[in-house]
Structure 1
Amino acid sequence: MRQTFKSLKLLTAAALVTCAAGVQATTLTLSNWVPPTHFVTSDILQVWAKNVEQATEGRVKIRMLPKPVGSPPQHWELARKGIADITWGNFTYEPDRFKAIWFAEFPFNGDNSEAQSVALWDTYQKYLKDTPTFQGVKLLGTGMFGGGAIHHGTKNIITPEDLANQKIRMGGPIQKRLLEEMGAVPIAAPAPQVYELVENGVVDGSLNPIESVINFRAADMLKHHTLVPGGFYDATFFLAMNEGTWNKLSEADKKAIMSVSGEHFSRLWGSEYDRQTAMALKELKAQDHEFNTPSPELMAKIKEVNKKVVAEWAADGASFNVDDPMEMVEFYRSRYNELKNKN
C-alpha cells in the first residue's frame, strides 16, 4: 500500500510537471507562400524553425501553415495585424511603404548573398528600425539573393543595342524602371511563369537570380545569361513577427529566439542562396549554356542609369524618414565589402 501511494505521488508530480510544461509551451504560426519543395521552405524557414525550438528548449515551436493566409504582397501586413504570428516576404512588393529599402535593389549591391543579407540587417538596425514604417512588427531577419542577372531565350545580351526593345519579364517597379531606362520593354509577370512566357513568345528574356533558372525549371527556355558584376538588380526580404505576439513572450524566450535570428537568420538565408547559385551555375554550364559579361558600353549605360535612380531616391529621403540616405548607402556598401572579404 505504501509503495502504491509512493508511486501515485510520483505519477502526480510527473503529471504536474507535464502540465506546467504544456502551459509554458507556445506554438506560433508561420504563413509561407512558396511550395514545400522550394529551398526557402526546406533549407531556410524549416531550419530556422528547428533552431528556434532548440534554442528555447521546446518552449516555443513554429507551425508552418498548410497554405498562406494571403498573397505574397500582403505578408508584412498579415504579420502586423497578427493574422499570422510570423510571415516572410519581399519588402518591395509594397514599394511605396518600403521606399527606404530601395537602395539595396538598385544595381551593383553585391554578388555574395550572405554578405549582402547581413549588411542589410546591420543597415536596418542602424538606420531604420525606429522609423514609423517598421513599427507593429518585430523584424527577425533580412535577406538578399546575391545579384540578379539578365537571361535571354535566343541571343547574348552584351551591348546596349542587344537589350534595346527586348521584351523582358520582371518582378517589380524598380526592375521596371531599370529596364525602361535601358531601352528594353518590361513585362510584369511572376517568376514561376517564365518558361511558358518565353515558350509562347510573350517575352524574349527575364530578370532572375541564377538559381531561379533552375528552381523555376526555365533552363530549356533561357540559355543565354549576362552576369553583371555586382548584380543588375537585387531583391530584399524580411522575416517578421507580430509585435504583440513578440511582447507576450518571456524575456528568456525572446533572447533565445534572437540568438538564432537577426544576423544569424540573415547568414542562414544568404549562405543558402549562395549555395543554390553555385549549384545552378555548375548545372547550367554543364548544359552548355552561354555566359556573358556586359561590354564596356553596356556597363557604362548601367552605371549611368544607376546614378540617376539612386540620386532621385536619395532626394526623397524625407518621405521615408532618413535624414541622409547616401550615408545609409555608404554604410551598407562598406559593411558588405567588409563581410564579403571575411567570407
Structure 2
Amino acid sequence: MTRTLLKTTALGTALLFAAGAAGAQNLTMSSWVPPTHFLHTDFFVPFAEQVAEVTEGRVTVTILPAPLGSPAQHWELARTGVADITWGNFTYEPERFVALWFAEFPNAGTDAEAQSVALWRTYEAHLADLEVFDGVEMLAAGLFGGGQLHHGSAQMVTPGDIAGQKFRMGGPIQERLLTELGAVPVAAPATRAYEMLESGVIDGSLHTMESVVNFRLEEALTHHTVFPEGLYDAAFFVVMNSARWDSIAPADQAAIEAIVGETLSAAWGRQFDAQNPAATAALAAAGHTITEASPELIAAVDTIYDAMVADWIVAAREAGVADPETVLAFYVETYGALTAE
C-alpha cells in the first residue's frame, strides 16, 4: 500500500514536472539594430525582462545576436514563424500596408508617446480586422516624433532653398514630399547617409533629430530645418507569430497582454521623446544651425499633405479600409486629446 502510494506520488510529481516543462516557452526575437542602439538597450531588453517577470519565468524572450533577415523582411519573418517576435517599419512594405500611410504624412505630430498611443488606439478601433494583419499578434505600434530636414552646408528654410537639392529618403511618402518641393530624392537606408554625404551623392538627408546623433552624422549634417508638427514620420510594429502566441498558456497570455498593446506602444514613444530633445540640445551645443521652417515652406508642405490625404483615401478604400476619413479623423482627434492632457 505504502509502495503503491509512493509510486503514485512519484508519478504525479513527474507528470507535474513534465507539464511545467511543456508549458515553458522561450521565444526568439529577431532585431536589426546593434546591441548598442537605444532601442535594444532601453526598450527591447527591458521588454524581454518584463515578459519573464510577469510570467514568473514561464515565458522568456531571447534576442538573437544577429537578425534573421533584412529590416524589410521582419514582418514576414514573424508571420511565417521563422522568428517568434520581430519589429520593423511599415514603410518598408508600403504596398502591403496602405492602411497605415496616414501615420507617416506631414503633421502627424512631434510627441512620440501621444502619437504611438493614438496609432495603437486607431489600429485597435479601425484596422485590426484587416486581412493584412492576419498571422501575427500585434504587440505594439509606434511613431518616432516627427522627421525633419537636414543639410550638409546650407539652411533649408524656404521652398526655393530646397529646389534642386539632393536628399536621401527612405520611402514613397518622403519621396513624394521631396519631389513636389522640387528636390531630388535619393533612396537609401539611413546607414548609408554618411558615405553618400561625404562623396557628394547627396546634399542632405531626412531623419529624426535623434538619428542624426545615433547614426553619427553630426559632422556631415550641420543645418537642421524643424517643422513644428513634423515633416514626415515612420510607423513601426512589434509583432509575434500568431501560432506561437496561441501556444502560450492563457494565464501567461493575460500577464503579457498587460504589458503590451497600448502600454508597450507608449513606452516606444517615450524612448523617442527622450532622445529627440537630447539630440537637439547636443547639436545646438556643437554650433549647428537649427531653424524652424518658414511659413511659406510649411504652407507648401500643407498643400502636399492635402493632396496626399485625398489620394490615400482612394487607395485605402481599395485596400479594404471601409471609411478612411474616419480612421484619419480618429487618429488626429486622439493625438490632439492626448497632447492636451
Report the equivalent of 2:149: 150
- Whether 1:336 aligns to 2:335 is yes
Distance in structure 1 (CA, Å) of the matches to 2:317 and 2:193:
37
The amino acid across from 2:28 in the alignment is T
Q: 1:168 to 1:22 in 2, by over 3 A?
A: same
Q: Which moved more, 1:234-243 or 1:42-51?
A: 42-51
The amino acid across from 2:182 in the alignment is G
Q: 1:317 to 1:15 in 2, by over 3 A?
A: closer
For the residue of structure 2 that corresponds to 1:316, the secondary structure is: helix
For the residue of structure 1 that corresponds to 2:157, the secondary structure is: coil
Aligned-residue offset at 1:317: 2.7
Q: Which moved more, 1:229-238 or 1:276-285?
A: 276-285
Q: How many residues align?
A: 334
Distance in structure 2 (CA, Å) of the matches to 1:97 and 1:328:
17
Report the equivalent of 2:183: 184
Distance in structure 2 (CA, Å) of the matches to 1:20 and 1:308:
58
Q: 1:222 to 1:11 in 2, by over 3 A?
A: farther
- Whether 1:317 aligns to 2:300 is no
1:309-329, Cα deviation, whole Å (9 max, x unpaired): 111111223222112111110
Report the equivalent of 1:87: 86
- Whether 1:125 aligns to 2:124 is yes
Matches within 5 A, 1:249-268: 249-268=248-267
1:93-146, Cα deviation, whole Å (9 max, x unpaired): 000010000000010000000000110000000011001111111100001100
Matches within 5 A, 1:18-97: 21-97=20-96
1:266-295, Cα deviation, whole Å (9 max, x unpaired): 011000111011211111111011111111
Report the equivalent of 2:6: none
Distance in structure 1 (CA, Å) of the matches to 2:13 and 2:64:
32
Q: Which moved more, 1:303-312 or 1:10-19?
A: 10-19
Q: Which moved more, 1:212-221 or 1:189-198?
A: 189-198
Percent of aligned positions that are identical: 50
After TM superposition, which residue ranges in structure 1, 4 or more long, deviate above 4 angstroms?
A: 10-20
Report the equivalent of 2:164: 165
Tell me, yes or no, if the aligned pair for 1:167 and 1:204 is still in contact at 8 Å.
yes
1:32-80, Cα deviation, whole Å (9 max, x unpaired): 0111111111111111111111111111000111111111111111111
CA RMSD of aligned residues (A): 1.8
Distance in structure 2 (CA, Å) of the matches to 1:318 and 1:146:
27
Distance in structure 2 (CA, Å) of the matches to 1:88 and 1:317:
23
The amino acid across from 2:77 in the alignment is L
TM-score between both structures, scaled by the size of structure 1:
0.94
Distance in structure 1 (CA, Å) of the matches to 2:13 and 2:43:
36
For the residue of structure 2 that corresponds to 1:62, the secondary structure is: strand
Report the equivalent of 1:296: 295
Report the equivalent of 2:269: 270
TM-score between both structures, scaled by the size of structure 2:
0.94
Distance in structure 2 (CA, Å) of the matches to 1:92 and 1:133:
14
Distance in structure 2 (CA, Å) of the matches to 1:71 and 1:195:
20
The amino acid across from 1:270 in the alignment is G
Q: Which moved more, 1:130-139 or 1:317-326?
A: 317-326
Tell me, yes or no, if the aligned pair for 1:121 and 1:262 is still in contact at 8 Å.
yes
Distance in structure 1 (CA, Å) of the matches to 2:11 and 2:35:
41
Report the equivalent of 1:7: none
Tell me, yes or no, if the aligned pair for 1:92 and 1:99 is still in contact at 8 Å.
no
Distance in structure 2 (CA, Å) of the matches to 1:148 and 1:296:
18
